Amino acid sequence: MQDKRIGFFDKLAKNWDSNQDEVSLKRVIDETNIKKGSAVCDVGTGTGVLLPYIVEKVEETGKVIAIDYSSEMIKKAKEKWGKLAVEFVVADIHNTGFPDSCFDYVICNACFPHFEKKKIALKEIHRILKKGGTIVISHPRGREFVNKLHREACECIKRDRVFEADILAKLLKQQNFTPLKTIDEPNFYFVSAVKS
């Protein structure tokens, strides 16, 4: 199933940016409250829609790594943002290969429903986050919009659902995170938690 998802997103890479809302993307980063000099992993970066906002927050002293399991998405992100201080990596969040405790923030924007084994992915995020580091799971267009979009899409993602924010917060707690903030508005979804 994961190979089918990767193929699906490879095909979408070319036109991915046409579906983005800059105000909501900026809000994801504002709600995350990234500190200057932080190390940030942008998981499922796609074409890098969050990257300029992240780079602006971490400034020159920070570090930004953008990962995606779709090589076509990473290729497009590099074309767009190659001049930014960002490292682009084709990687799967279930097994990134990054060292333990290397990030202050791990942001999963518009990608968490597509994680095939969510508990394994969360365990990996917990491993690569520093103690006190923050995980963010966001959907700038809202839960219902995303779930409807997925239901009407191809077979490989039609069951990929965004959980209600309180259910996701409970899952994060079970995986040794301390929930920090939950926003589940009609047009904006944001859940953050801290590595305990």
pLDDT level of residue 98 (50, 70, 90 thresholds): very high
Q: Is the pTM of this model over 0.85?
A: yes
32-36, 66-70, 156-160: which range is least confident on average?
156-160
- Which CA distances in Å does 89 have to 50, 67, 70, 160? 15, 5, 10, 24
| Eight-class DSSP state of 98 | P
Residue 21: predicted pLDDT: 81
pLDDT level of residue 150 (50, 70, 90 thresholds): confident
Q: What is the mean pLDDT of the chain?
A: 92
Q: What is the mean pLDDT of residues 63-83?
A: 96
Fold type of domain 2-16+24-195: Rossmann fold (3.40.50)
**Number of Cβ within a 10 Å radius of residue 59:** 13
In whole angstroms, give the CA distance from residue 72 to residue 13.
Answer: 6
45 phi/psi in degrees, rounded to 5: -60, -25
Instruction: Please name the residue that has the structure tokens 């995020």.
Output: 125
3-7, 62-66, 81-85, 151-155: which range is least confident on average?
3-7
